[in-house]
Every structure is written in C-alpha cells, then in structure tokens.
C-alpha cells in the first residue's frame, strides 16, 4: 500500500461517514444497490467466490457528478443482506492515475483474478480520443475476496494493435478448454466500434487473437464487451455509442445490447441482429457472470452517461445512480416467434416480498411503502387489449395493443419523456417499484424497461386502467447493508420503507 492509497482511502472514509449521517432518504432505494455516497456507474468484477457474490462498481465517492473513479465493493450471499467492503482499488499508481476503469473478475480454485483498465491522461495538448490517453490492462488477485495482491500491468497500451484510437478498455475474461480469453471494447482510428480478443495460457501473458467487428459500420465505440454461452447459444454483448435513433430503437444517447451468434468464436457479427437489453431511459454497461448454480446473471448500471435528463433532487442527497436488480438470463421464444435472451429478477428478489400480496380490485391504490412488487397477469384471450398502469401519478406504462409506451411527466421524469417498443401481445407484466427506480418485466422478461423517477412524497400511489387483469401487489422489505469499515449501522443509514 503506497502513500497515495492511504491518502485517497482517508478521503473516501471521511466522505462516506459524512454522507451517511446526512441522508434524508426520499430517493435512496430499498432494494437497488447505490453508492454509499457520490456517484456510481458500471457494475464491475461480478462473480461468485467461496459462497459469496461480489459486486464491485465504478465509484466516485468524492463527487456526486462523477470524478475520480475507484472500485466500490459489496458482497452478499443472498442478494438481500449485503456488506460494503470499501473501495479496494483506487488510482494510486502511475498506470491508473486518472481512474481505475471498468473490468471483470475471473474466479477459479487459485483465487479471484480481477482485470481492469488503468486510465491515464498524459499532460499536454491532446484530444484524449486519438492521442494522449493510456489504457493498460491491469491484474489484481485475491485468495479471500477481501485482501488483494499488488497491481500488475498485463497488457501495456503500447502493445495494442495499430489502427485503434486511445479508447480501448473494459476487459472481460473467461476460460474455455484450458485457454483464457479476454475481450476489450474499442474504437478504431476511423471511428468504428470493435472488440479486441486476446488469449492466454496463464492470465499473465496475453496475445491478440483477433477482433470482433460488424458486417456494416455500427457505432463509433463499443464499451463494456461481454461474451458467454447461454442455452447453447453464443452471445456477444456490448454497449455501442453513436447509433442513430428510430421509432422503436436506440432511443437513448448510448445503447447496450447483444447479438446471438451461431458460431463458437464469432468474429463478424450481424448488426441487424443486435437486440437492446432494456428499452427504458436508464440502463447501460451491463455485465454478466455465471454462479455456482449455473445461473447466468446480469446486472446493469441504471443510468445513462451524457443524457439530457437528470436525477434531480436526488443529487441533494449527495448520491447519484444505482444498479438494476440481478437478472437471470435464459434463451426463450419471443412473441414474434424468434429466440431471444429473456431476463427475470433472480428468485432472491421474490424473498423480499412481505406477506401474500394484495389482490387489486380498485382503480387506485395508495401504499405506505416505497418498495413494491406488482405482478399482473392478463387473460390469455385478451392479451392484445390496451391497458395502462401509473406509478406516483407521473410514470405511465401503456400498452396500446401494439406498442408499449413508457411516459414520464416533467416532475417525475426530470427530462425523461417517452420510450417505445413494439410487442404483439402482453400476457404478463411485473413491475418492481423502488423509491426512485422502476423496472418493468414484460412477458416473463421478453422485454424490460428501466427508468429512474422522482416523486414528491414517501409512499406509492398506483393507478390502474386494466380491465380484466389479475393484479397482485406485494409490499417489499429493503435489503440490509452493513458498513463495517466506518462503524455505522444500517439503522443510521438506510431508508427502510
Ligand atoms: C462505461 C464506461 C467504461 C469505462 C467506465 C469509466 O460507462 O465509460 O467504458 O471503463 O465507464 O467509468
């Protein structure tokens, strides 16, 4: 541990201590992970190791609008009870001095192997896109998931291939038949998104084994790549920047989605098969991992970089952004007859329901709680009939019989207006409502919409225009988070709804 490490850690502890005591808690969520204080973006280093899930995240504890990037670290055995373990990786070396950027964890019997990008901006007159930035790939290891070895550079920026801009980052590592593979998100010098594929026999020495491109140009940068096999399908996931929006697609400034490929080592993907993970306003840079039960679990950042909409007064609580709930993935047949990756909240989320739920017989329901799980089933024969459900009098989910429309008014939306998708029928809808985020799962996860929203008071008002639907509302308890490092307890900190 060097002096810079100590200096940054003491600033972080101080910021976390102050923030926790100040929290007024209208917008802090009950079952979505947030930064203890300051800014959060991408989920990082997701893995299950020695019985615990590790959820690291991009974290700027000192600035609520983002700034110095470190990794924050939560662990949990059950996605209900969490422990915050502090910020293990901070920019304390020359090769990561401007940010410990995103990355992943690979776990095996030897330990946890964490790969991330060390962001460095050279001093001088640079544009930092085509010149002036370094992005070494760095490795840190751990035997106990708590203490970590020294950082070491495994791919130096100078080793990246010719023809690329300085934007190369976000290593995701996996192993196949004894060989380790790494994908890195990249932007070529002539502004095309790519994924670089490296391989290694030992995780220390890596060599370039190819690149993944698209048939036609498809966005200028691909961030946060991921690759995995799901139900015998080969899935390439990434977050492209620079796509033009259409009526039902690419409605946010940046996207994230996947392509299901037929071949085992995809090199040229068909961009026409790109499917967005989430159709809402706030979803980016997801990452997946496999747990001991063979579940492929995805967690996304419930945020959007460079968006015109904001998080409004939540910033006055001195924090910004959160993660989605963990979602289990599976390949299934969608309403249009094609195979798709479906996403549903992991079953542990169900265990936060309190009681047997309330069958809705009214048009309007006022709940004391901020955390609800709303389960709607539509009559099989009538699942093309229009309906709408409104949360907090300002967030309306409408099915027109053909389109889904998620609309937010100015007060709740802070600039979020409308997002649309096409779907030929809706037979089920699950709505996870939290203090300032809502996730909508349509047809058992065929489509998902995630949005942040900002209400005026505690409690949740629901309005239904849903003839003949069978709707149950479950109040939800909050997750527990322990903060052993700073000596404060859950009661002082958490907004228990
Ligand atoms: C995605 C991203 C990554 C980068 C990180 C920095 O949101 O831009 O590409 O590593 O955020 O925080």
Q: Could you say which DSSP state residue 306 is in?
A: T
In ligand 1, the atom with minimum distance to the C-alpha of 102 is: 10
In this prediction, residue 492 has a pLDDT band, given cuts at 50, 70 and 90, of very low
Residue 346's nearest CA partner among 277, 390, 289 is 289
As a whole number, the mean pLDDT across the chain is 94
Which residues have a Cβ under 8 Å from the Cβ of 246 and sit 6 or more positions away? none
Residue 415 phi/psi, 5° resolution?
Answer: 105, -15
* 42 is a catalytic site residue: yes
pLDDT at 490: 37
Supply the residue whose CA is at minimum distance from atom 1 of ligand 1.
Answer: 285
Which residues have a Cβ under 8 Å from the Cβ of 290 and sit 6 or more positions away? 48, 228, 296, 297
The best mutation among 222, 224, 303 to test binding of ligand 1, ranked by most ligand atoms within 8 Å of the C-beta, falls on: 224
- With pLDDT > 90 as the criterion, what percentage of the chain qualifies? 91
Q: For the CA atoms of 295, 300, 302, 303, what is the dihedral angle to 10 degrees?
A: 180
pLDDT at 381: 85
Ligand 1 centroid from CA 150, angstroms:
23
pLDDT at 119: 98
Instruction: Give 185-212 pLDDT, tens digit per residue.
Output: 999 999 999 999 999 999 999 999 999 9
CA distance 132 to 123: 8
> Is the CB of residue 289 less than 8 Å from the CB of residue 47?
yes
Ligand 1 centroid from CA 276, angstroms:
18
In ligand 1, the atom with minimum distance to the C-alpha of 301 is: 7
Q: How far, CA to CA in Å, does 387 sit from each of 72, 381, 426?
A: 41, 14, 10
Judge residue 96's burial from the number of C-beta atoms within 10 Å of its C-beta, 0-12 exposed, 13-18 middle, 19 or more buried.
buried
Averaged pLDDT, 101-106: 98
Per-residue pLDDT at 485 exceeds 60: no
Q: How far, CA to CA in Å, does 319 sit from each of 91, 209, 279, 281?
A: 21, 41, 24, 19
Ligand 1 centroid from CA 469, angstroms:
41
In this prediction, residue 493 has a pLDDT band, given cuts at 50, 70 and 90, of very low
Instruction: Give 392-449 pLDDT, tens digit per residue.
Output: 999 999 999 999 999 999 999 999 999 999 999 999 999 999 999 999 999 999 999 9
Per-residue pLDDT at 22 exceeds 70: no
CA distance 93 to 34: 27
Task: Provide Rg for the chain, Cα atoms.
Answer: 22
Averaged pLDDT, 343-355: 98
pLDDT at 86: 95
Pairing of strands 319-320, 38-49: parallel
């Amino acid at each position: 541990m060097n002096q810079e490490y100590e200096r940054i850690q003491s600033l972080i502890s101080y910021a976390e201590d102050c923030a926790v005591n100040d929290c007024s808690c209208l917008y802090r969520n009950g079952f979505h992970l947030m930064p203890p204080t300051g800014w959060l973006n991408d989920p990082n280093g997701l893995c299950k190791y020695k019985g615990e899930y590790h959820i690291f995240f991009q974290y700027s504890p000192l600035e609520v609008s983002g700034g110095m990037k470190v990794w924050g670290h939560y662990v949990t055995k059950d996605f209900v009870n969490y422990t915050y373990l502090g910020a293990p990786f901070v920019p304390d070396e020359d090769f990561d001095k401007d940010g410990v950027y995103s990355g992943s964890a690979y776990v095996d019997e030897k330990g946890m192997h964490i790969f991330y990008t060390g962001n460095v901006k050279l001093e001088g007159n640079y544009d930092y896109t085509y010149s002036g930035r370094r992005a070494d790939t760095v490795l840190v290891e751990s035997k106990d998931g708590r203490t970590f070895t020294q950082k070491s550079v495994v791919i130096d920026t100078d080793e990246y291939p010719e023809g690329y801009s300085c934007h190369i980052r976000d290593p995701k590592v996996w192993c196949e038949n004894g060989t380790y593979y790494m994908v890195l998100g990249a932007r070529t010098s002539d502004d095309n998104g790519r994924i670089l594929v490296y391989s290694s026999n030992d995780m220390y020495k890596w060599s370039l084994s190819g690149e993944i491109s698209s048939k036609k140009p498809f966005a200028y940068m691909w961030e946060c790549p991921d690759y995995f096999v799901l139900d015998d399908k080969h899935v390439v996931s990434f977050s492209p920047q620079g796509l033009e929006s259409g009526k039902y697609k690419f409605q946010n400034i940046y996207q994230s989605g996947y392509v299901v490929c037929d071949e085992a080592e995809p090199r040229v993907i068909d961009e026409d098969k790109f499917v967005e993970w989430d159709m809402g306003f706030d979803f980016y840079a997801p990452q997946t991992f496999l747990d001991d039960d063979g579940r492929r679990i995805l967690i996304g950042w419930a945020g959007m970089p460079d968006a015109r909409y904001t998080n409004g007064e939540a910033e006055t609580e001195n924090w910004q952004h959160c993660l989605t709930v963990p979602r289990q993935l599976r390949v299934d047949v969608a309403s249009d007859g094609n195979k798709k990756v479906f996403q549903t909240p992991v079953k542990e989320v169900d265990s936060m329901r309190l009681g047997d739920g309330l069958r809705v017989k009214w048009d309007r329901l006022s709940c004391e709680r901020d955390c609800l799980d709303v389960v709607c089933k539509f009559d099989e024969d009538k699942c093309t009939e229009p309906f709408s459900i409104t949360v907090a009098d300002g967030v309306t989910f409408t099915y027109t019989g053909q389109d889904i429309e998620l609309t937010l008014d100015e007060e709740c939306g802070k600039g979020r207006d409308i997002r649309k998708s096409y779907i030929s029928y809706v037979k089920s809808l699950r709505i996870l409502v939290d203090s300032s985020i809502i996730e909508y799962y349509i047809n058992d996860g065929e489509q998902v919409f995630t949005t942040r929203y900002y209400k005026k008071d505690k409690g949740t008002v629901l309005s239904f225009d849903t003839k003949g639907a069978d709707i149950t509302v479950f109040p939800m308890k909050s997750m527990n988070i322990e903060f052993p490092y700073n000596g404060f307890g859950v009661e002082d900190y958490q907004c228990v709804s």
